[in-house]
Structure 1
Amino acid sequence: MATPLSQYVVELENAGYSGWVAYREPALALRFAYERSLNSAYIYIPGDDQWASYCRSAGAKPAAERRAEILQRIATEVKKLQTAAAVVQINDFGIELLF
């Protein structure tokens, strides 16, 4: 069982209304595409079936068993960066923030 780490960083790499969300821990780094509209943002994240393969291909094998934890961390931090009033919805293929 993976032990949750308390040292992590979530950063937005903006390119207009789209860009990347970077999630980093001392031993791993993951990037996810996102798009933003006037009243929402969507972060595209591989589904449960693709998650382990994505982590291996990104050189982040330790994250393979921690999808739910990492998604929750990303959702919490992006909400802080965008607007605390956002409503967050996590589904099988990503994170949606409604403003």
Structure 2
Amino acid sequence: MKNILIFLGIVAVLIIGGSILYFSTQPTSAELEYSEQLKWDVHKYLINEKNYVEENIEEIKVTDNAKLKGKKRFEIAVVFKDDKDSVYYYQYENPGKLNNLQ
């Protein structure tokens, strides 16, 4: 009986610890909203400042680097139609200034 209680206690600790770890690494709604804004900002940056043509952009998607904290955790991955083998990553270096991480 004692072994069963110890086993159940260990299982409970693992489940609770795993849940806490999982939920602590999930982005908040404010962070998700920020990531979508960043995606839009990168799109505008490519079109307006770098003079890319909309049709040459294959894909723009948000990547979540959970190893980083706060707003720096979100990077925007961009694939261009004429260079489908490369992925270009963007994030804010300073507020208002995009940085290409390539």
TM beyond 0.5 = no
More helix by share: 2
More strand by share: 1
TM-score normalised by structure 1 residue count: 0.31
TM-score normalised by structure 2 residue count: 0.30
Instruction: Choose between structure 1 and 2 for higher RCO, CA contacts under 8 A separated by at least 6 residues.
Output: 1
Q: Which structure has the larger Rg?
A: 2
